[in-house]
Amino acid sequence: MTATVEAGPADRLHSVPLRRVVGQVRRAGPLGLLDGLGDRARGQIVRLNLGPFRPFLVTHPDHLQHILRTHAADYPRGAAMWSALGRLTGKGIGGEGAQWHASREILQTAFSAGYLKSMSGQMIDSITGAVDDLAARAGQPIDAGVEMTRVVQRVVDPVFFGSLIPDGEGDRLGEAVATAMGSLLWRMAMPFVPHAVPMPGDRPFKRATRTVNEILRPVLAQARKDQRDGADIVTKLMRGTGADGQPLTDDQICEDIVALFVAGSESSAIALTWIWVSIVQHADVYERVRAEVDAVVGDGPLRREHVRELTYTQMVLREVLRIYSVGWAVPRMATKDDVIDGVEIPAGSTLVITPYLTHRLEEFWPDPLKFDPDRFTREQVRARHPLAYMPFGNGAHQCLGEAFFHQEAALIVAGMLRRFDVALAGPVAPKLSLTLQPREPVELVLTPR
């Protein structure tokens, strides 16, 4: 499917009229529209004419460098997505400006190499326990999204909350955050509508955020009462100060925790689901990963050192995140008039960075739709543009949890493959939502080895 676009000045800008956007979405859905835009533009800037909302789509690494590095101060958060998402994640680590900087300073230590090393034993215990629980359901289809969410929540509970979340509440918190995220789509699509005007999704959003607060407020109250001396994120935030030099309020702490939960739990679970889809759909990759797990881990317990030794598995994880860019859209707002590669960018414009399309540019990824983990050998990585691959973003707002995810994901894959043969119970197709996720539940069948 190919999108029809009209060339702009100097053939550097493609403009897509509203009628064609609507027609493409009707014929092929939002993902089909995005694929078609990428096929036709091939790295050039595209402008979508959506009535009063006219965002630019930006995909080429040179253009991304301009926005995220060279002129990053001129392209802050604050566009449609962040305005809508900010109702859930606040103005701290999920926002921009002085308070974002204060929250990031607090949280950086929570994702340092030293902290990951200190928490690796707890992470491994959590993963091993979760895999043991899955053995009871071997032989029957399981929902990969549900189960990977449970595994991830079992990992993040001690890291984020110091194991303060009561049993069963982790699932409830995850469901509430997912509901709140999904209900923001209309607000994102129509950012010019005032929040005072009711829109679809508002009611489930309010219910979900009420549930989030019902779960997190008692956690904070208990943590303050206990005067904890742990290294978990709740404790770090309680000890931290905001941009005004004052201790963070409970509101600010809750918002930062939710922002981290979105990235550390929901997005991670979606990525892990795509990992299983990708491995199982490519038999040669599956066999290489399993052989590596057998050689590195064997019959012994999982160890943190295995993460570095699982070199091919890590290449597979990176290729999965290239093909299935969970965070497929990353918006920025131009604060002043600018020119990018000959294209005029008026102040106030929304620019939507699309890693999903960047990861499909043939200039950097030959045969881009082919699943090929060998793209991530050291030699190939060094030879590529540094912004040709950005599943965790780039620049000042690059995700703090990148190393955490790779450690967690490698250990989960190793923990499961040494215990089970994994198969898919049915076909899987992606869809665009706030994230890139499976259209239908992904069913896995686990067979004991």
134 vs 29: CA distance, rounded Å: 35
Whether 125 is in a domain gets the answer yes
% of the chain with per-residue pLDDT over 90: 47
Whether 408 is in a domain gets the answer yes
Contact 199, 190 (CB under 8 A): yes
Q: At 15, is the pLDDT very low, low, confident or very high (cuts 50, 70, 90)?
A: confident
Q: At 9, is the pLDDT very low, low, confident or very high (cuts 50, 70, 90)?
A: very low
C-alpha distances out from residue 305 to 63, 298, 311, Å = 38, 13, 11
Whether 382 is in a domain gets the answer yes
286 vs 280: CA distance, rounded Å: 6
Cβ atoms within 10 Å of 171's Cβ, excluding its own: 14
Return the pLDDT at 1.
35
Q: Per-residue pLDDT for 397 more than 90?
A: no
Residue with tokens 């979340």: 165
Whether 31 is in a domain gets the answer no
Q: What's the mean pLDDT when you consider all of the chain?
A: 87
Whether 443 is in a domain gets the answer yes
Task: Kindly report, residue by residue over 234-273, the tens digit of the pLDDT.
Answer: 888 888 898 889 988 888 888 888 777 777 778 899 999 9
User: φ and ψ at 432, to 5 degrees?
Assistant: -90, 125
Q: Beta strands 338-340 and 343-345: pairing type?
A: antiparallel
Alpha-carbon dihedral sign for residues 118, 122, 125, 127? negative
Q: At 7, is the pLDDT very low, low, confident or very high (cuts 50, 70, 90)?
A: very low
Q: What is the pTM of this model?
A: 0.89
Question: How many structural domains compose the chain?
Answer: 1
Q: Per-residue pLDDT for 82 more than 70?
A: no
C-alpha distances out from residue 90 to 93, 139, 246, 251, Å = 8, 43, 17, 9
CATH of residue 346's domain is: 1.10.630.10
Joined together, the tokens standing for residue 413 give 């894959």
Contact 92, 100 (CB under 8 A): yes
254 annotated as ligand-binding = no
Of 90-104, 129-143, 286-300, which gets the smallest average pLDDT? 90-104
Whether 35 is in a domain gets the answer no
Highest mean pLDDT among 2-6, 90-94, 296-300, 356-360: 356-360
Return the pLDDT at 189.
67
Whether 323 is in a domain gets the answer yes
Whether 37 is in a domain gets the answer no
Task: Kindly report, residue by residue over 30-56, the tens digit of the pLDDT.
Answer: 899 899 999 888 999 999 888 778 889
| Closest to 206 measured CA to CA, from 188, 180, 243, 182 | 180
| Average pLDDT over every residue of 373-398 | 95
| Domain containing residue 286 | 55-448
Return the pLDDT at 413.
97
Q: At 225, is the pLDDT very low, low, confident or very high (cuts 50, 70, 90)?
A: confident
Of 132-136, 177-181, 274-278, 378-382, which gets the smallest average pLDDT? 177-181
